[in-house]
Structure 1
Amino acid sequence: APLGHRGLRVEQRNYNHPEVDALVWQAILSESGEEVYLRHIGGRRLRANGRHWKTDASVDYADDLDNISRKMLWVVEDIPAREVAPPLPRPTGLPHLTLRSRLIMYVLPTVYGALLARGTFVFRGRSVFRLRKELARQLGVFVNVEVSDLFMCLPTQDGRLFPLVVDLPRSGQTLHIIVAIAGTPAQAALRYADVDA
């Protein structure tokens, strides 16, 4: 954990990352019935750290329910879906040539699921706005599409598509993107979280 905090550091990572074992967390209802604590199969509990408990998380042992601290209790909130895709964040003023690069691997399926296009390219920076523009340029050979009609998705373990609407992580790891075009069944099936609700 960060200096001055208990437990072991924990971070959210891509489930498909080769160095990450599958972690199973069990949500257990607290005595109050209003919160849960998240127990790892190894007996550890997810614990909030940092100023006002909002900046870091770690995992800590708690052998029994008497050792559960307030920092280990979490509230589960239902986040409704938005009706339309949120706007992509505009790029910052940072010169993208000085930023970390990553490999982007993409596929564009047809409406029937067959492969229409696939490719790879090196992308610099974290801007999802610039990434969509570059994907449109890469796909220009295969389809004539406006940049705004292109939707980028990340595949999940169960085969669903998760819309990419935030800037890329700092890690620089390879991203596998599935492209959906406006007006297709794949694009119509996408769901967006309304985090401002």
Structure 2
Amino acid sequence: MENLFLNNINGGNLRANGRYRPWNNGVSVDHIDDINNISTMMHWVVEVIPAREIIPRLPRPSPLPDLLLRPRLILYVWPNIHGGLITHGTFVFGVRSVFRLRSELARRLGDLAIMDLEVADLVMCLPTHDGRLIPLVVDLPRSGETLHIVVVIVGSPAYMALQYADVDA
């Protein structure tokens, strides 16, 4: 495998933290001033994650509250099978749990009484720049950035086209 550098939108490079301060184990952005003097913490290896046939079980919510997290804005759209819009909306969400986010989204969509919707009928997806949908199956990042979600209903053509990463691989 080859090492590579991952660029950030502002021209910096991603650097792993935690070498000297184990509690600081996130990722930050740093600039490369001297190409011959680059920290090994900026070397990344990309590994292929195998696909799986069915959606993995969502992680259970943590019993500990996310008191220190900034609430994030959730923007969601629910398209019909022809690409038109059934509904869309926004709300503020203050925890990282993908499990709780799906429950909250199902509650909001169920309140619209468009159709009988159970939590298990709903798959949350992240749109990519090329139009593909990536199922959201892990807890949300700590960043607090706005999250754009496309709602997909189990059994729909969009659902049949989804591919799931094997997060346990």
TM-score above 0.5, yes or no: yes
Report which of the two has the higher share of strand. Answer: 1
Aligned to 1:179: 151
Aligned to 1:153: 125
Question: Given the two structures, how large is their TM-score scaled by the length of structure 2?
Answer: 0.77
User: Which shifted more, 168-177 or 110-119?
Assistant: 168-177
Task: In structure 1, list runs of 5 or more residues that go unmatched.
Answer: 1-33
Aligned to 1:51: 19
What's the Cα RMSD here?
3.2
1:168 partner letter? L
Give the fraction of aligned pairs with identical amino acids, expressed as a percent.
60
Question: Given the two structures, how large is their TM-score scaled by the length of structure 1?
Answer: 0.67
Q: Aligned runs of 1:66-81 on 2, under 5 Å? A: 67=37, 70-81=40-51
Looking at structure 2, the residues matched to 118 and 40 of structure 1 have their Cα atoms a distance apart, in angstroms, of 33
Looking at structure 2, the residues matched to 118 and 68 of structure 1 have their Cα atoms a distance apart, in angstroms, of 45
Looking at structure 1, the residues matched to 12 and 138 of structure 2 have their Cα atoms a distance apart, in angstroms, of 30
Q: Deviations over 1:134-164 (max 9, x none)?
A: 1111111222121111000111111111211
Aligned residue pairs total: 162
Aligned to 1:195: 167
Q: Aligned runs of 1:19-168 on 2, under 5 Å? A: 34-38=1-5, 48-51=16-19, 55=25, 56=27, 59=30, 60-63=32-35, 67=37, 70-95=40-65, 100-140=70-110, 141-168=113-140
Q: Deviations over 1:95-139 (max 9, x none)?
A: 468864322221111111111111222223121111111111111
Deviation at 1:88, TM superposition (A): 0.8
Looking at structure 2, the residues matched to 108 and 39 of structure 1 have their Cα atoms a distance apart, in angstroms, of 33
In terms of Rg, which structure is larger?
Answer: 1
Task: In structure 2, list runs of 5 or more residues that go unmatched.
Answer: none
Aligned to 1:19: none
1:138 partner letter? R
Q: Which has the higher contact order (CA 8 A, sep 6+)?
A: 2
Looking at structure 2, the residues matched to 172 and 70 of structure 1 have their Cα atoms a distance apart, in angstroms, of 28
In the superposition, relative to structure 1, how do residues 39 and 51 fare at CA in structure 2: closer, same or farther (>3 Å)? closer
Looking at structure 2, the residues matched to 35 and 96 of structure 1 have their Cα atoms a distance apart, in angstroms, of 37
Q: Deviations over 1:24-83 (max 9, x none)?
A: xxxxxxxxxx4233275999765555339x94565433435xx56655543332211111
